[in-house]
């Protein structure tokens, strides 16, 4: 590839053995505006890219993605950096004047559009092969990104779908799977871990049975712990995409890039005994955790405590919940 020779950084031949040139990429690149003929070798199944520097912008080091720009000599730059640098009037590498700004580099655009790599979560069931420049975007949303089982001394790691199967098979933890975000559900919570699997968009999954497990769903952990004065219920969303740059990640919890979720929990009891009538409700934000560091700290979440005097020893705790 011509760009590899010209770039200032160490990677002179990062695409491995010239294999990338198969299929007429280099010929096409030399006349970027000409109509492109069909390649004779449409795909190279395995292509080594030992150094991805040549696929990154020299200025910001982020993967180059179309539109890509270049100076008259051929030094490439991403569109964001190109915009920032165009007022300088000269190439950031060679200093050649760039009157009117950098020019479009269609050849490099074709190169970066051609380089794909399997998602690193392939062992967890992801068969996506995104373009190199789209890799980070895919990883931020990959539904197969793994979470850890919250079981003490259990090392199981898997996608939320795999976790569900594991919870039932290895731990026999109860899981409510019929419900949607925004729908009020009656739940029966026993001591320990309880799980709730909610369809995230009405009609997207359950209507068709979602046998492939592809519908957007959210998995929630409802932990019931016996405290001195009553049973404390805490609610988390088990989600692989936890923003580790967030301020408070000590417990592996944050509000993350996805919209925050609100939970309404209601417990009521009417009847005999000391307590004739009891009603308690809380609306609170649901934290998200990939459980990588175990169960989140209980100091960082709301504890919905149902008093022992009200429960009167009756378990499981029956409550109503809605998450949206």
In this structure, what token pair is assigned to residue 15?
A: 């695409």
CB of 131 to Zn ion, least distance (A): 13
Binder among 29, 91, 162, 302 for Zn ion (CB under 5 A): 91
Among 15, 55, 81, 233, binds Zn ion (CB under 5 A): 81
Q: Which is nearer to Zn ion, 163 or 317 (CB)?
A: 163
Told to check if 93 binds Zn ion by CB under 5 A, we report: yes
Q: Residue 119 or residue 164: which is nearer to Zn ion going by CB?
A: 119
Q: Of these, 36, 84, 110, 156, which contacts Zn ion (CB under 5 A)?
A: 156
112-151 residues near Zn ion, rule: CB under 5 A: 119, 121, 126, 128, 142, 149, 151
Separation of alpha carbons 257 and 85, rounded Å: 30
Answer yes or no: are the C-beta atoms of 120 and 136 closer than 8 Å. no
Q: How far is the CB of 304 from Zn ion (least distance, A)?
A: 25
Residue 213 has which token pair? 């497990």
Pick the closer one to Zn ion by CB: 121 or 231.
121
288 touches Zn ion by CB under 5 A: no
Q: Which is nearer to Zn ion, 200 or 282 (CB)?
A: 200
Using the contact rule CB under 5 A, the part of the chain among 76-84, 105-113, 238-246, 267-275 near Zn ion is: 76-84
The binder of Zn ion chosen from 94, 185, 275, 311 (CB under 5 A) = 94
DSSP code string of 53-64: GGGB-TTT-SBP
Which of these, 95, 149, 98, lies nearest to 291 by C-alpha position?
A: 149
Q: Kindly provide the residue ranges of all beta strands, DSSP E only, lying in the chain, ordered along the sequence.
A: 68-70, 76-78, 103-104, 147-148, 157-158, 175-176, 185-189, 192-199, 217-226, 230-238, 253-254, 261-270, 277-289, 304-307, 317-323
Do residues 240 and 292 lie in contact, with contact meaning Cβ atoms separated by under 8 Å?
no
Shortest spacing between CB 265 and Zn ion, in angstroms: 25
Our CB check for Zn ion shows the closer of 137 and 248 to be 137
Q: Among 55, 78, 197, 310, which residue interacts with Zn ion (rule: CB under 5 A)?
A: 78
Residue pair 226/298 in contact by the 8 Å Cβ criterion: no
CB of 6 to Zn ion, least distance (A): 8
**Helix residue ranges, H only, the chain:** 2-6, 25-29, 79-85, 106-114, 135-141, 160-166, 308-311
Task: Name the site residues for Zn ion (rule: CB under 5 A).
Answer: 57, 59-60, 71, 73, 75, 78, 81, 91, 93-94, 119, 121, 126, 128, 142, 149, 151, 154, 156, 170
């Amino acid at each position: 590839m011509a760009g590899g020779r010209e770039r200032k950084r160490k990677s002179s031949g990062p695409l491995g053995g010239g294999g990338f040139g198969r299929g007429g990429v280099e010929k096409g690149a030399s006349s970027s505006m000409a109509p492109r003929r069909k390649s004779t070798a449409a795909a190279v199944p395995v292509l080594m890219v030992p150094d991805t520097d040549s696929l990154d912008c020299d200025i910001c080091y982020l993967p180059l993605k179309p539109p890509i720009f270049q100076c008259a000599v051929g030094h490439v730059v991403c569109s964001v950096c190109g915009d920032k640098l165009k007022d300088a009037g000269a190439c950031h590498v060679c200093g050649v004047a760039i009157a009117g700004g950098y020019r479009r580099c269609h050849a490099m655009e074709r190169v970066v559009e051609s380089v794909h790599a399997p998602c690193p979560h392939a062992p967890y069931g992801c068969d996506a092969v995104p373009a190199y420049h789209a890799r980070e975007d895919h990883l931020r949303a990959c539904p197969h990104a793994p979470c850890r089982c919250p079981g003490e001394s259990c090392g199981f790691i898997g996608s939320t779908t795999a976790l569900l199967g594991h919870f039932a098979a290895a731990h026999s933890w109860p899981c409510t799977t019929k419900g949607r975000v925004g729908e009020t559900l009656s739940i029966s919570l026993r001591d320990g871990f309880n799980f709730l699997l909610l369809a995230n968009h009405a009609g997207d999954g359950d209507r068709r049975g979602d046998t492939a497990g592809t519908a957007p769903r959210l998995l929630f952990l409802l932990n019931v712990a016996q405290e001195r004065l009553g049973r404390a219920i805490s609610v988390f969303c088990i989600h692989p995409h936890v923003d580790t740059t967030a301020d408070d990640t000590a417990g592996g919890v944050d509000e993350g890039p996805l919209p925050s979720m609100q939970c309404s929990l209601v417990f009521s009891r009417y009847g005999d005994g000391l307590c004739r009538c009891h009603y308690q409700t809380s609306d609170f934000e649901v934290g998200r955790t990939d459980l990588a560091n175990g169960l989140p700290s209980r100091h960082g979440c709301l504890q919905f405590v149902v008093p022992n005097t009200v429960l009167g020893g009756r378990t499981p705790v029956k409550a109503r919940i809605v998450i949206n």
